[in-house]
Amino acid sequence: MKDRISIVVMVDAVGALSDRTLHNGNLSLVDDSSGSKHQGTPDLITTVIPGQVVQWTPIHIDVQTPVEIYSIEFLPGAPAAPPAGPSPAAPPPVDAMGSNGTENHDLLVWEGVVPYDMTPGVPYRYRLSLKLHEGPNSVLHVDSPALMRV
């Protein structure tokens, strides 16, 4: 078993900003886990084992264009009970402020340990939000990738 699974987030920033979507071939997700499905697409399902560390790393196709991971949120299913209180799956976003007073999402390391109570064989989809430069059109997301315990 590998200790660590790496998911590479490759973005054509100019394509994504022009099309205003991470689809149309503007986003490619690749991992180094064996048995993962839909490699190279936004629909990547990464196979994981409890105890492994999963790390997401953004890579830009245009080397001079900033591409940052803005957030990763696992999407909860329909609650069995009436919703009460904040969803445990949507913690407050982590502060990305740099010491010079400007936001820098490059400060954030997107990695976490696969918990032992994860249900096997079920894809846990997540919303991957990326920040491309800054401004009202700069944050784009997909809800299609997932982690799945084998």
Partner 1 sequence: MAQQHGIIVLFDVENALRTRSLAGNTYWFDNMKLFGSTGEGTEHLVTIVPGTHFMDGSQATEQVLNWLPAALGAIPPTVPRNYLAEQERADDRRTLDQLASLNADGGVSDTDLKRLQKRVGKRARKPAGGRGLTAAKLLDVTGKTTSSAGAYNYPAPVITDITGPAVTEKIMYPAQYGSPDMIYDGWYWAATVDTSRPGEYPYTMHVQLHELIEQNDEMIWESVDLTCESTLKITTDPKRNGFTGAGLGLLPLPAVPATG
Partner 2 sequence: MPPKTKQPERRPSRPVTITAVIDPVAALASENLDDSLYLYDTNKAAGSTGFGTPELHSRVTKGDTLLWNVIPLECETYAAITDIEIDPRVAEPTRKVYPGTDIVFWTAEVKQDLTEPLRYRISFLLGTVTTPFTPTARPALAGPADQAREGR
- Interaction site with partner 2 (CB under 8 A): 13-15, 17-19, 62, 64-65, 132-138
Interacting residues with partner 1 between 56 and 115 (CB under 8 A): 57-60, 63-67, 69, 71-80, 87-89, 91, 94-95, 98-102, 104, 106-115
Q: Is 24 in the site for partner 1 (CB under 8 A)?
A: no
Query: Across-strand partners of 22?
Result: none
In the set 2, 25, 40, 134, which binds partner 1 (CB under 8 A)? 134
| Min separation Cβ 135 and partner 2, Å | 3
Cα–Cα–Cα angle for 147, 132, 15, rounded to 5 degrees: 90
* Pair of tokens at residue 13: 């920033």
Residue closer to partner 2, measured from CB, 32 or 62: 62
Which residues fall within 8 angstroms of residue 46, CB to CB, at 6 or more apart? Answer: 5, 7, 31, 33, 36, 54, 145, 146, 147, 148
